[in-house]
Amino acid sequence: MNDGVDVEAHQLTGQAAAVLAQGGEFHHAMPGFVPRNSQQAMAQAVEHAFAAREKLLVEAGTGTGKTYAYLVPALQSGLRVAISTGTRNLQDQLFHRDLPRVREVLASGARVALLKGRSNYLCLHRLERALQTPAHRRHYKTLADLRRWSRITVSGEIADHGSHDPAVLAAATSTAENCLGNKCPEFDQCFVVKARRAAQAADLVVVNHHLLLSDFRLREEGFGVLPGVDAVVVDEAHQLPELAPQFFGERVSTRQLQDLARDTMEECTTLGDLPELSDLGMELAQATAPLAVELARQQGRIADVAFRHNNKEIRKLENKIKVSVEELTLALDAISERNPELAHLSKRCARLRDAYVTLVAPEAPAGWVRWVEGGKAGGSWHGAPVETAASFQRLFAAYPGSWVFTSATLSGASHFTDFREAIGTPGAQALALDSPFDYARQARLYLPPDLPDPADPDYLLHVVRALQPLIAAAQGGAMILCTSHRAVSRIAELLRTRVAGQAAPLPCTVLVQGEASKAALVAQFAQDGNAILVATASFWEGVDIKGRALRLLAIDKLPFQAQGDPIFEARLAALKAAGRRPFVDYQLPHMIISLRQGVGRLIRDEQDYGLVVICDPRMSTRNYGKRVRASLPPMPVLHDSEQACAWLRNLPQSEAS
């Protein structure tokens, strides 16, 4: 890679590199710790970026040990650092497992804090209101138990209580819209406030990407975490450009409108003398109900114009909501000074009205794309800038300091160009570090011959037929990553029913995404040792299964983004209008990043061995296939089924177990 560095020749002299080196603190304190030049090079680069207040991009191949490589300089720097992870699970893992280990080795006295979004914390005020509201009577037992638990919990993280009922969670937690802020009677005891105060006082705070981006959007609440932060480390940074539209634009959901209507009516019930306002709340709820039904029917994202075109009554229903929310805004504004609840409802209603009007106006703002999304019990309207660079630049201007972006997959096929453009940092320093794993020894890449084009109606049947002898040779231990939920269902069905022509049943348990939680499926797969796991979406990344339990990784087809997605189509149109090549400049690089994430599930340790199977024939038949193969770890390529089966049958047993 053009932005890479010869780690062997790179002089590793920094303080952070020294503690991770042979004979350093980690080598002495942690049994089994293996010093890695790539880890030390990353630690030194992060240390320099912190000192120079620069932006740094680091692609750290699987096994580099990037978590320690940024935690060590973060704790040694004396700076106030925020670290953002891709998910709450990774956030918990970083805070409860990795961070304590590093602090212990460094004997660091740095103050640390974990901060999540407000919906993760019990809201004492809303809990008490729910207990007193007749509409929540059927949940009284659970709510009363939450009240008892609230007196003994330290963090107030509602996941620790174990409640899962969506109605209970909605009643006992707050949102950005319904939080009263410092006007709340429970403000001094608020778990969100306590968590945010701890974060503001910490030397190092661990957040997630959703919170990182919403902090910028909602900083006017006075609860900002990042102001005063000297440095930000974004782990799993490849996710950031795709998340940006959720936070740099506008969003209004049917739930937000219905919650506003419900809270208005509940406040009127409490006060007892506002029947006209209660009627307006009821009108908003009634106006929203039919659109909630229509939106719930949608699958994924759909352009707003297509949504309205499919049903001529949609525009009338949207206008009815517009009139209703405008009338409610005027009514609340007129009595907003009566009490803090009404004052907050007034501001909340005005914000929703302004966003909604933007999202349903006849024309979208210049440079924006608008769409709708369906959900389980409703849906939402969205709008965001097509290009995210300017929004990220405003983020960096609002929170100046050092920014470090790291992931196992940042550069795609473009040597960081695409990521730099997406986040508006054309001059950022970049470092590409290869994985320390010996892929030439530990893995093989098999490209099955004679498969039909993925558009063939029987393509998945042919995929399963190609995989069955491999699964038999490996005796299970297979993860099949699919590019759609439809493919997951079809492949699982074929494996379980032997429709694909298998003479005898496979001696393996078939685990399927959706039949249990992600954590439960991964745990069962690892414990079984010979299972088959069929999954899509979130299983392409964040799954870490070491050892022999995973020895065969199959991908049904190249993970190009689905045609028809409005954000995707808008970006392609913008590139075309700018005289660029949408496929080469956008579609292919993004596909390669996704593919590399998926392939990265196989080899997670020096003693892992296995076979990667990419079933898509375009890997061999299209000109871009060479570019795709060149982006993958340097695994010898097999084209013959017998060779692939022989490799699986002869995998080292002791080292891989």
Q: What is the DSSP string of 472-490?
A: HHHTS-EEEE-SSHHHHHH
SS3 58: strand
pLDDT digits (tens, 9 = 90+) for 28-37: 999 989 999 9
Question: What mean pLDDT comes out for the span 420-433?
Answer: 92
User: What is the reported pLDDT for 655?
Assistant: 42
User: What is the reported pLDDT for 504?
Assistant: 57
- Facing residues of 403 across strands? 55, 232
pLDDT band with cut points at 50, 70 and 90 for residue 287: very high
Distance, in Å, from the CA atom of 122 to the CA atom of 413, rounded to the nearest integer, reads 45
Q: Residue 5: pLDDT above 80?
A: no
Two domains, one topology: 1-111+202-248+388-436 and 250-385? no
Which one is predicted more confidently, 66 or 1? 66
User: What is the reported pLDDT for 10?
Assistant: 42
Q: Residue 82: pLDDT above 60?
A: yes
- Facing residues of 637 across strands? 445
Q: Residue 143: pLDDT above 80?
A: yes
Distance, in Å, from the CA atom of 20 to the CA atom of 28, rounded to the nearest integer, reads 10
Question: What mean pLDDT comes out for the span 617-636?
Answer: 95
User: What is the reported pLDDT for 293?
Assistant: 95
Sheet containing 402-407: order of strands: 112-114, 204-208, 81-85, 231-235, 402-407, 55-60, 429-433
Residue range 250-385 in CATH 3.30.43: no
Q: Residue 314: pLDDT above 70?
A: yes
Distance, in Å, from the CA atom of 107 to the CA atom of 80, rounded to the nearest integer, reads 18
Of the chain, the end-to-end C-alpha distance in Å amounts to 33
Per-domain boundaries in the chain? 1-111+202-248+388-436, 250-385, 439-656
Question: What mean pLDDT comes out for the span 235-250?
Answer: 91
* Sign, CA torsion 390/394/396/400: positive
Residue range 1-111+202-248+388-436 in CATH 3.40.50.300: yes
Q: Residue 8: pLDDT above 50?
A: no
Query: How many Cα atoms occupy the beta-carbon half-sphere of 116 within 13 Å?
Result: 20
Find, among 218, 19, 62, the residue nearest to 604 by Cα.
62
Residues 451/466, Cβ–Cβ less than 8 Å: yes
Taking the domain 439-656, which CATH number applies? 3.40.50.300
pLDDT digits (tens, 9 = 90+) for 95-109: 999 999 999 999 999
Q: Residue 263: pLDDT above 80?
A: yes
Distance, in Å, from the CA atom of 582 to the CA atom of 424, rounded to the nearest integer, reads 19
User: What is the reported pLDDT for 376?
Assistant: 83
Structure tokens, 428: 């950022």
Q: Residue 600: pLDDT above 90?
A: yes
Helix (H) or strand (E) holding 73: helix 66-76
Q: How far is CA 115 from the centre of its chain?
A: 16
Distance, in Å, from the CA atom of 618 to the CA atom of 592, rounded to the nearest integer, reads 13
- Facing residues of 4 across strands? 432
| β-strand pairing of 552-555 with 610-614 | parallel
Q: What's the mean pLDDT when you consider all of the chain?
A: 91
Structure tokens, 373: 């999304």
Distance, in Å, from the CA atom of 251 to the CA atom of 342, rounded to the nearest integer, reads 23
SS3 65: coil
Q: Residue 633: pLDDT above 80?
A: yes
3-state helix, strand, coil in the chain (%, to 5): 50, 15, 35
pLDDT digits (tens, 9 = 90+) for 154-196: 999 999 998 888 889 988 999 877 888 888 899 999 999 999 8
Of 9-13, 243-247, 614-618, the one with minimum mean pLDDT is 9-13
pLDDT band with cut points at 50, 70 and 90 for residue 509: very high
Residues 378/292, Cβ–Cβ less than 8 Å: yes
User: What is the reported pLDDT for 228?
Assistant: 81
Residues 233/46, Cβ–Cβ less than 8 Å: yes
User: What is the reported pLDDT for 26?
Assistant: 96
Residues 545/525, Cβ–Cβ less than 8 Å: yes
pLDDT digits (tens, 9 = 90+) for 612-622: 999 999 999 99
